[in-house]
């Protein structure tokens, strides 16, 4: 009898291998399979179950085993999170609006004026598509300048608004001697900073600081080393010096254009 008791575990193991116990799947707890020596649980039909195959509920298997990478490859794939979209800034919104007004048939000055009048509503847009829709509504009369898209309420009378800041900056650049296109370019480049100004005085100080910084970056043509040169020669010299200093041709052209009054002031001297 003692000998029989010692052999009982072996007899039961052989019996279970020959006649595996059918484990009934519970609701939401499917049957998976483990092996006698492995630490993974598998789906039926897995090649790793050729030598041994023991049925077990998924919930019990998860307590001591990990999923087979072959059986669950499609479920173990980690989906990478989508890359965050780049921020759509107020400056990008203003540039998009200006180009959209131009594409709609408005002349440069008219497009600038429209953009200037609606800068608060335009800056509130969150995407280029929203800007385009705003411009189309504005041109069709559906979006009055005083009622911007995006729920922005009209400014209280007397308040220093973003529109006023932009208009003040543009006029200050013009008063400083910049041509209309150059003044617009400067205003457009600095829109994000200008709309933060709280008063006309603050805008004027910003413009003066901007122009002072630009003058320090001017080539020798404006610093008394271009004596006797014609306006055309001065402009050419300034452009050449900027490019030679490492600036791209487009950037050099814009720099010369923005500082044209200062350059021309030295002509013939």
Query: Does some domain include residue 35?
Result: yes
Whole-number percent of the chain with pLDDT over 90 = 4
Is residue 41 within 8 A of residue 67, CB to CB? The reply is yes
DSSP 182-237: HHHHHHHHTHHHHTT--SHHHHHHHHHHHHHHHHHT--GGGTT--TT--HHHHHHH
| φ, ψ for residue 56, nearest 5 deg | -160, 150
Q: Determine how β-strand 40-41 pairs with β-strand 66-67.
A: parallel
Domain count, the chain: 3
Any idea which of 96-105, 128-137, 150-159 has the lowest mean pLDDT? 150-159
Whether the pTM exceeds 0.85: the reply is: no
pLDDT of residue 249 exceeding 80, the answer is: no
Would you place residue 34 in the very low, low, confident or very high pLDDT band (cuts 50, 70, 90)?
Answer: very high
Q: Is residue 80 part of a domain?
A: no
pLDDT band at residue 1, thresholds of 50, 70 and 90?
low
In a domain, 165, yes or no: yes
83: in domain: no
pLDDT tens, position by position, 190-219: 888 888 888 888 988 998 888 776 655 555
The answer to whether residues 109 and 205 belong to one domain is: yes
Shared-domain flag, residues 6 and 95 = no
Q: How far is residue 89's CA from residue 94's CA, in Å, rounded to a whole number?
A: 9
Most confident segment among 48-57, 81-90, 152-161, 215-224: 48-57
* Same-domain status, 147 and 95: yes
Q: Are 217 and 246 in contact (CB under 8 A)?
A: no
């Amino acid at each position: 009898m003692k000998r029989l008791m010692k052999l009982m575990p072996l007899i039961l193991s052989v019996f279970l291998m020959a006649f595996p116990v059918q484990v009934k799947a519970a609701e939401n707890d499917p049957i998976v399979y483990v092996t006698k020596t492995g630490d993974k649980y598998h789906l039926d039909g897995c090649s790793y179950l050729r030598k041994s195959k023991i049925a077990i509920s998924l919930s019990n298997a998860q307590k001591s085993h990990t999923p087979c990478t072959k059986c669950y490859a499609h479920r173990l794939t980690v989906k990478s999170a989508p890359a965050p979209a780049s921020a759509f800034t107020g400056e990008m919104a203003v540039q998009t609006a200006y180009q959209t007004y131009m594409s709609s048939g408005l002349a440069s000055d008219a497009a600038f004026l429209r953009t200037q009048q609606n800068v608060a509503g335009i800056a509130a847009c969150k995407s280029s598509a929203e800007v385009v829709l705003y411009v189309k509504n504005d041109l069709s009369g559906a979006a009055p300048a005083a009622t911007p898209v995006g729920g922005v309420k009209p400014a209280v009378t007397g308040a220093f608004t973003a529109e006023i800041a932009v208009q003040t900056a543009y006029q200050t650049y013009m008063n400083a001697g910049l041509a209309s296109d150059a003044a617009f370019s400067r205003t457009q480049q600095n829109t994000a900073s200008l709309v933060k100004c709280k008063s006309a005085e603050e805008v004027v100080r910003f413009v003066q600081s901007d122009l002072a910084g630009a003058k320090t970056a001017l080539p020798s043509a404006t610093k008394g080393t271009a004596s006797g040169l014609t306006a055309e020669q001065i402009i050419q010299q300034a452009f050449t010096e900027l490019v030679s200093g490492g600036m791209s041709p487009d950037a050099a052209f814009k720099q010369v254009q923005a500082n044209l009054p200062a350059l021309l002031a030295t002509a013939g001297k």
